[in-house]
Amino acid sequence: MTSRLHVKDLINVGIFAAVYIIVMMAVVTALGMVPLLYAIAPVFVALICATIYMLFVMRAPKTGAVFVMSVLMAFVFMGASYYASIWVLIVGVVTEVILLNGGYQSLKRVKLSYLIYSLTTVGPYFGVVLMKDVYFAKTEAYYGAEYADALARFLPPWILLPLMGGTIVAAFFGALLGERILKKHFRKAGIV
C-alpha cells in the first residue's frame, strides 16, 4: 500500500470532510438555540462525529488525508476568526504526526488521533479569549443582545481549558462507540 494520496483518496477526503462538517454544523446549529448548549457544543460534536472520523481514517489511510480535511475545516472556520483556522491547521498537523508514528490502520492510534482532532471544534471559541469584544459584538448582531449577554455568562475567558478537557473526554467515549460501530457494522460489511 502506497502512502501517497491519489485521486480516489482525495475523493474520500472530500466526501468524509463534507459529512463531518455537515454533521458538526447540524449539531452546533441545533445546540446554538440555547446559549448554554452552544457554549459546550464541542463536547457534543466530539461524541457524535467520532465514528465519521474513524471510518474516514480507516478508509483513507494515507499520509496527509487528515491534514487535507483540516484545511477544508479551516476554510469553514474562517467565518469565526482566523485564530480558529490557524488552530484547526495546527491540530491537523499534530493529528498527522500521531497517525504517522503508529500507522493509519492501528485502531489504537486512530482513537488517540481523534482525541486530538476533536479539539478542532474548540477553535471558534478562541475569539472569546483573544477578541472578546468582537466575538460578542458579532454574536449580538446575529442573535440579539439578550442571547449575547446569556452566552457571555457561559463563556468566561477561562473557558478554553475546561472546554478542551470536556471535548477530549467526550471524544474518548465517542471513539469507544465508534470502535464498536466499526467492528459490528463496517468490518462485517467489508467496508474497513
Which residues are CB-neighbours of 112 under 8 A, at least 6 positions away? 98, 102
Q: Which three cell numbers stand for residue 177?
A: 462507540
Q: How far apart are CA 170 and CA 160, in angstroms?
A: 15
Q: How far apart are CA 74 and CA 8, in angstroms?
A: 22
Predicted TM-score (pTM) of the model is: 0.87
Are 47 and 86 within 8 A, CB to CB? no
Which residues are CB-neighbours of 8 under 8 A, at least 6 positions away? none
* CA torsion, ordered 27, 29, 35, 36, to nearest 10 deg: 0
Domain boundaries defined on the chain: 7-186
User: Which own/partner pairs from 86-94 qualify as long-range (CB within 8 Å, at least 24 positions apart)?
Assistant: 87/119, 87/120, 87/122, 87/123, 87/126, 88/120, 88/123, 91/116, 91/117, 91/119, 91/120, 91/123, 92/66, 92/67, 92/117, 92/120, 93/67
For residue 1, the model assigns a pLDDT of 45
Q: What is the mean pLDDT of each run of 10 residues along the chain (192 residues)?
A: 73 91 95 91 96 89 90 90 92 93 79 94 89 87 90 89 96 93 68 54
Which residues are CB-neighbours of 61 under 8 A, at least 6 positions away? 1, 103, 104, 105
